[in-house]
Amino acid sequence: MMTPTIRDIAYQLRQGKLIALADETGWSLAVDPVNDAAVAQLLSLANRIPAGLQPTVLIQNADQLGLYVLKLPDIAFDLVEFAENPLTVVYDQGKNISLLVWKDGASGEAGSLTAGEVSVRRALNIDIQRLIGSFGRGLLTLPFESLTLPADVESLISERFGTLPGMPKRPRIMRLKANGEVSFSRK
């Protein structure tokens, strides 16, 4: 079997397929963030990710922040652009992703998103950045932060893409309010 190209993976995402992504944080599942059917399938697996984690939009660069966050304090771009280690930032007002994210997330469970919140992380892996660039928008991901995928998830993925690290780096998780107020969920 041939190794899929970035173009192949971008095509699979456009078709609503679940893709297993390997990057500096370990495995994640990724889908097109505006494809309701794909997002519903992804969210049905959210109970498999570690406690405190939530669906996260993976972006190529800080320029894409404005696509997914309604009100950005000035510091937001610098935080994302200059982070040398994985950094997930939770913003107050998300946009341009399936509304299913907030319908399922408003349950108030630990780590779940409340209505309107969006978690965003800039990919540090060059191949994943290229994939996002080729796809033309960010990817909605479920982060496993592990070198293995849950067994019951294996049969649902269409393709695997990326390179696993020797040891996954757990992203810092911070909240950034529209007024610039910062708090850390995980340092």
Write down the pTM of the prediction.
0.92
16: left (phi over 0), alpha (psi -120 to 50) or beta: left
Q: What pLDDT digit, counting tens, does each position of 55-109 carry?
A: 999 999 999 999 999 999 989 999 988 999 999 999 998 999 999 998 754 444 4
Q: How far apart are CA 145 and CA 124, in angstroms?
A: 14
Domains and CATH numbers, the chain: 6-186 (3.90.870.10)
Share the mean pLDDT of the chain.
90
Is 141 strand, coil or helix? Answer: strand
